Amino acid sequence: MNAIVYTQYGSPDVLQFQEVATPTPADNEVLIKLCAASVNPLDWHFMRGKPLFVRLMSGLLTPKIKVLGCDVAGQVEAVGKHVTQFQPGDQVFGGTRLEGFAEYVCTTEDRLVLKPANISFEEAAAVPVAAITALQGLRDQGRIQSGHRVLVDGASGGVGTFAVQIAKSYGAEVTAVCSTRNMDTARSIGADHVIDYTREDFTKSGQLYNLIFAANAYHSIFDYRRALSQDGIYVMAGGGGVPTLQVMLLGPLLPLIGKQKMSLFMTKINKKDLVVLRDLLEARKIVPVIDRRYPLSNVAAALSYLEEGHAQGKVVITVEHQ
């Protein structure tokens, strides 16, 4: 099969389109013939080996796993002898522990669900990491409730576009923060209010929010705190190094001087949440926003574009088999 392989850390130039052996599923695994995948910031962090903790997981000098990609959608080709939930021919989507930028991939059945018939493979591949990040951040960390005033900072990216829609599905009043060119998209996916961050700083407006979800944090923790209600919650899902350190170091101390809470979390792919997202997709309560599509052979260009930080929604990889 063909796959995107890398043997050293670096820029997208280290990625190579090569023929490699097709994997064989273990007893608890499913072999998927891929139709689509999608790229995430996780992929270029592993590609570059930055920040340092990535190398602690992937290998200090060279990467242990040679293929990137953790969002997949396709058709079940074969199953291990202990697999009970899927059979060959099933159309599925879900997550892998990398190795998704290939024509075939193996993953465990607890990281997969059946694809709704009313969405494409490309739409399905856009969902797992980004949508689960939004769901877990809003529901588990943010304790979202109907009627809450929710602000999504970085509302135009992969995580942000899902966060706006998921927050609306909970009955929240949603304010989206994005650049000028993305305001129409934010409105089209259900945002009640849209703030152009190039013209207005929401942290100085005086408006208070029950929940601030930062898909791409760039303000200081003190700025976000100023925009929270008295018992508001700030959840950071992505952003720069300084905001991350502030939340890690100062976030646990804030409840000592008030009721506000600030947290950073790690997304965990699991079947239960994939089922929740599948139901939302089937009901069209969330609709993946796809910015660009690249063929498997051009993953390097897809990651270069994602790294620029201007993607509107998700960047998808299409997989065509010879």
| pLDDT at residue number 234 | 93
| pLDDT at residue number 218 | 83
Compute the distance between CA of residue 277 and CA of residue 290 in angstroms, rounded to an integer: 17
DSSP summary character for residue 306:
H
Compute the distance between CA of residue 319 and CA of residue 240 in angstroms, rounded to an integer: 32
The contacts of residue 272 (CB under 8 Å, 6+ apart) are none
Residue 4 Cα distances to 7, 42, 64, 177, angstroms: 10, 16, 14, 35
Compute the distance between CA of residue 273 and CA of residue 37 in angstroms, rounded to an integer: 19
Domains and CATH numbers, the chain: 2-127+288-318 (3.90.180.10), 129-264 (3.40.50.720)
Compute the distance between CA of residue 264 and CA of residue 272 in angstroms, rounded to an integer: 21
| pLDDT at residue number 245 | 65
| pLDDT at residue number 252 | 67
Compute the distance between CA of residue 318 and CA of residue 281 in angstroms, rounded to an integer: 20
Provide the β-strand partners of residue 174.
150
Whether the ω angle into residue 51 lies within 30 degrees of 0, i.e. cis, is yes
Ramachandran sector of residue 205 (left: φ over 0; alpha: ψ -120 to 50; beta: rest): alpha
pLDDT, tens digit only, all 322 positions of the chain:
999 999 999 999 999 999 999 999 999 999 999 999 999 999 988 999 888 778 888 888 899 889 999 999 999 999 999 999 999 999 999 999 889 999 999 999 999 999 999 999 999 999 999 999 999 999 999 999 999 999 999 999 999 999 999 999 999 999 999 999 999 999 999 999 999 999 999 999 999 999 999 998 888 888 888 999 999 999 988 776 666 666 666 666 666 566 788 777 788 899 999 999 999 999 999 999 999 999 999 999 999 999 998 899 999 999 988 7
The contacts of residue 66 (CB under 8 Å, 6+ apart) are 5, 6, 7
| pLDDT at residue number 151 | 98
| pLDDT at residue number 289 | 97
